[in-house]
Amino acid sequence: MNSFPPEIVLEAVANGLLTGAVYGLVALGLTLVYGVLHIINFAHGALLTLAMYAAWVAWAAFGLDPYVAIIPLVPIFFAAGYAVQRLVIGPASRGDDQNILLVTLGLSIVLENAMLAIFRSDTLSVQVDYAMEVVEAPLFFSAPMLLSFPRLVGFGVAFLVAGVLFVLLTMTDTGRAIRAVAKERTGAALSGIDVAHIYAVTFGIGTACLAVAACLLLPSFYVNPRVGNAFVLVAFTIVVMGGMGSVPGALLGGLVIGVVESLSGLYLGDSLGQLGIFVIFILVLLFRPTGLFGARA
Amino acid sequence: MLEVRDLVAGYGLTRVLEGVSLEVGAGEVVAVLGSNGAGKTTLNMVISGLVAARGGEVRFAGDRITGLAPAQVMARGLIQVPEGRKIFPNLNVRENLELGSYRRAKANRARNLEKVFATFPRLRERVAQPAGTLSGGEQQMLAIGRGMMAEPLLLILDEPSLGLSPLLVEEMFALIRRLHADGLAIMLVEQNVAQSLDIAGRAYVLEHGRFALAGRAAEVRENPELKRAYLGL
């Protein structure tokens, strides 16, 4: 195995953390929906793709910078997620978990093919002048580390979103109702909580997280009709690793996976970067199947 | 206050309630007794809107509430403290209580919280503790406290003494007496026959989805049918 000078390794770790925060954001939406609705949302990837196209259209048609596009896209995607759960997934599933699985899978197929029909399979990207910009982070023992500017923004915004979510879930009645419904539906209904509404709000928040993630990814990433799946595969790993349904687990798991991917890219070559993720995934399943923050079985 | 007329309900092909009628008046304590599987909890679930009625109707304060969603039922002041407590184990004691006023009596939240703490000093001691770590008795207090937060007009208590030590059972019945003395109407659904009949004004005995007995608590106690309904002899 190659040995690298410490500043190179440090830089890889730092860039891994930065990427990992956005992975964590994608996983956050997935784990929240799982934790509350107890369903694996197979449409998560397609919804991420949809959000990336939306951010691309905002840029291509309206000249909106992807970071600015967060402001209109978050409410739009929250409303879309709310409507999908309330009008499609909820009624179609009739409370049966297997049906929900199939409905979300069907939804992802419909969405992907609709996007394929509209945007074709070409890869699209936005051109912003800061896409390749780097920020120098000083190190006391060597030349400064080079950190990608879009990734730094992604890291900051992902943590901001996690902070907002934390406040929402612990300080507001709606947030507490979400946590209550996650563990005790009957008790929640008898306390006057409209469970179907809370499900839809949760799905809306998960979808809004994707809108933020899409806007953070777009300056440095391309979009095509299947791009979301690559991220969601990683997000599934993070959700299992962090503990199904655990919000801090998703964020921490995202950071760990980001670093693992970055380091295995460094040592094994870029094309094998994702290998490390799945090695970790298998190790977690073997030795800590409930995840880092998961409840003990 | 609460009127149930010819209620029929069940799950799938199983009929659980086969035409049940009962009444609870303002300020009354009414006991609904019956052995396991008689249909007591199903009756509560239908009244609260969690299980659909297949026939008959439920009226509360003069209005038909059959078919309303649980949130709409409780918004009218018909509050149920369910069997098995159904507290939120991942939320702390204060959060559990505050969610009791999620839809009703929100404006009086702070005042009612003080009232609940005055009734259950134990809950005040454990205010920041996750509810799942409370003892069974404390969880029952929490469930009742959560119900009180919504300022009930009628409180349905489903098996409040279940799984409690004899000492705590005594405490629970003393509490129910106190709530009644404050003027609250209570429908007490219990397996604990003797103590329930002590505090109830009237009682119904459910057997195989029908009321086998109904009347003043003192009369029900003396009725030889009671033993038969209970022991299935």
Q: What are the tens digits of pLDDT across the range A177-225? A: 999 999 999 999 999 999 999 999 999 999 999 999 999 999 989 999 9
Q: Does A96 score more than 80 pLDDT? A: no
Tokens of B171: 């405490």
Q: Is B74–A190 a contact, with Cβ atoms under 8 angstroms apart?
A: yes
- pLDDT value for A297: 40
Task: Report the percentage of chain B scoring pLDDT > 90.
Answer: 81
- Give mean pLDDT, residues A251-269: 91
Q: In a mutagenesis test of the B interface, which of A190, A198, A293 is the best target, namely the one with the most B β-carbons within 10 Å?
A: A190
Give the whole-angstrom CA distance, residue A130 versus residue A220: 9
Alpha-carbon distance B223 to nearest alpha carbon in chain A (angstroms):
35
Contact list, B100 vs chain A (CB under 8 Å): 191
Please check whether residue B84 is in contact with residue B92, taking contact to mean a CB–CB distance below 8 angstroms: no
Name the CA radius of gyration of chain A, rounded: 19
Q: What is the ipTM of this complex?
A: 0.93
The kind and range of the H/E element at B50 are: none
- For the stretch B177-186, pLDDT in tens is 999 999 999 9
- Note the pLDDT tens digit of each residue in B33-61: 988 888 999 999 999 999 999 999 999 99
Residues B86, A179: C-beta atoms closer than 8 Å: no
HEC string of B178-202 equals HHHHCCCEEEEEECCHHHHHHHCCE
Determine the 3-state secondary structure of A72 from DSSP: helix
Query: How far is A167 from B34, CA to CA, in rounded Å?
Result: 46
- In the structure, what pLDDT confidence band is assigned to residue A278 with cuts at 50, 70 and 90? confident
pLDDT at A95: 67
φ, ψ of residue A188 in degrees (nearest 5): -65, -45
Which pLDDT belongs to residue A20? Answer: 94
Check A190 against B70: CB less than 8 A apart: yes
Average per-residue pLDDT for chain B: 93
CB B164 within 8 Å of CB B176: no
**Range of lowest pLDDT (A11-15, A186-190, B3-7):** A11-15
Q: What is the pLDDT of residue A7?
A: 83
Beta strands in B44-134 (DSSP E): 55-60, 63-64, 78-81
pLDDT at B231: 62
Beta-carbon separation of B70 and A177 below 8 A: no
Q: What 3-state class would DSSP assign to A70?
A: helix
pLDDT at res. A246: 85
Handedness of CA A85, A90, A91, A92 (dihedral sign): positive
Which residues in chain A have their CB less than 8 angstroms from residue B48's CB? Answer: 189-190
Determine the residue type at B147. Answer: G
CATH fold of B2-231 reads: Rossmann fold (3.40.50)
pLDDT tens, position by position, B203-219: 999 988 999 889 999 99
**pLDDT score of A19 more than 80:** yes
The residue that leads in pLDDT, B86 or A240, is B86
**CA atoms A71, A38, A195, A191: torsion sign:** negative
Q: Quick one: pLDDT band at residue A1, thresholds 50, 70, 90?
A: low
Q: Would you call B150 and A191 a contact, using CB atoms and an 8 Å cutoff?
A: yes
Q: Select from B86, B89, B98 the Cβ nearest to the Cβ of A190.
A: B86
Alpha-carbon gap, residue A239 to A232, rounded angstroms: 10
CA closest to B73 among chain A residues: A192
Closest in A177, A187, A194 to B86, CB measured: A187
Using CB atoms, pick whichever of B82, B89, B95 lies closest to residue A190: B82
What is the share, in percent, of chain A residues with pLDDT greater than 90? 63
- Is B29 within 8 Å of B201 (Cβ atoms)? yes
pLDDT of residue A294: 67
- Residue A210 to residue A108: CA distance in whole angstroms: 14
Work out the average pLDDT over A149-173: 94
State the pLDDT at residue B233: 52
CB distance A23 to A254 below 8 Å: yes
The three-state secondary structure class of A80 is helix
Residue ranges of chain B whose CB lies within 8 Å of a chain A CB:
48, 50, 69-71, 74-75, 79-80, 82, 85-91, 95, 98-100, 102-104, 143, 146, 150
State how far residue A293 is from chain B, nearest Cα, in angstroms.
14
In angstroms, the CA B50 to CA B66 distance is 11
A vs B: CB pairs below 8 A: 68
From CA B148, how far away is CA B56, in angstroms rounded? Answer: 29
Surface-to-core class of residue A12, CB atoms within 10 Å of its CB (0-12 exposed, 13-18 middle, 19+ buried)? buried
What confidence tens digit (pLDDT) does each residue in A127-138 have?
988 888 888 888
Residue A297's SS3 state is coil
Residue, of A224 and A293, whose pLDDT is higher: A224
